[in-house]
Amino acid sequence: DAKTTQPNSMESNEEEPVHLPCNHSTISGTDYIHWYRQLPSQGPEYVIHGLTSNVNNRMASLAIAEDRKSSTLILHRATLRDAAVYYCILFDGNKLVFGAGTILRVKS
């Protein structure tokens, strides 16, 4: 399984944008880049995914590097409810393999 590398933790101020980085230098041409997040005491929830182009949805934006070896999840205005563990995952069409993720702390 292709691996991803994320910082262990990040901190943000409320109402400010947050950029969560992910490196995936061994990504194959058919791997999709997925992001999930896990709020305290809950199962993970889907955030966004993409293949080559940048993607936007109501939760976040995903910026994918041109060589696809890295990507960034962007939360445009962090709120306290965004405090969670964020997982960057490469999906090969079969199964999702979760790494350790990034713990995002949001300060008021």
Partner 1 sequence: DVKVTQSSRYLVKRTGEKVFLECVQDMDHENMFWYRQDPGLGLRLIYFSYDVKMKEKGDIPEGYSVSREKKERFSLILESASTNQTSMYLCASSLDRGSEKLFFGSGTQLSVL
Q: Is 39 in the site for partner 1 (CB under 8 A)?
A: no
Cα 16 from Cα 35, distance rounded (Å): 20
Q: Is 59 in the site for partner 1 (CB under 8 A)?
A: no
Q: Which of residues 69-88 bind partner 1 (CB under 8 A)?
A: 87
Stretch that binds partner 1, among 10-18, 30-38, 64-72, 73-81 (CB under 8 A): 30-38
Summarize the chain as % helix, strand, coil (round to 5).
Answer: 5, 50, 50
Burial class (CB in 10 A: 0-12, 13-18, 19+), 74: middle
**Given candidates 23, 32, 55, 68, which one binds partner 1 under the rule CB under 8 A?**
32
The pair of structure tokens assigned to 98 is 């979760």
How many residues of this chain bind partner 1 (CB under 8 A)? Answer: 21
Nearer to partner 1, 41 or 108 (CB): 41
Return all residues near 67 (Cβ < 8 A) that are at least 6 apart: none
**Given candidates 42, 53, 66, 67, which one binds partner 1 under the rule CB under 8 A?**
42
Q: Is 10 in the site for partner 1 (CB under 8 A)?
A: no
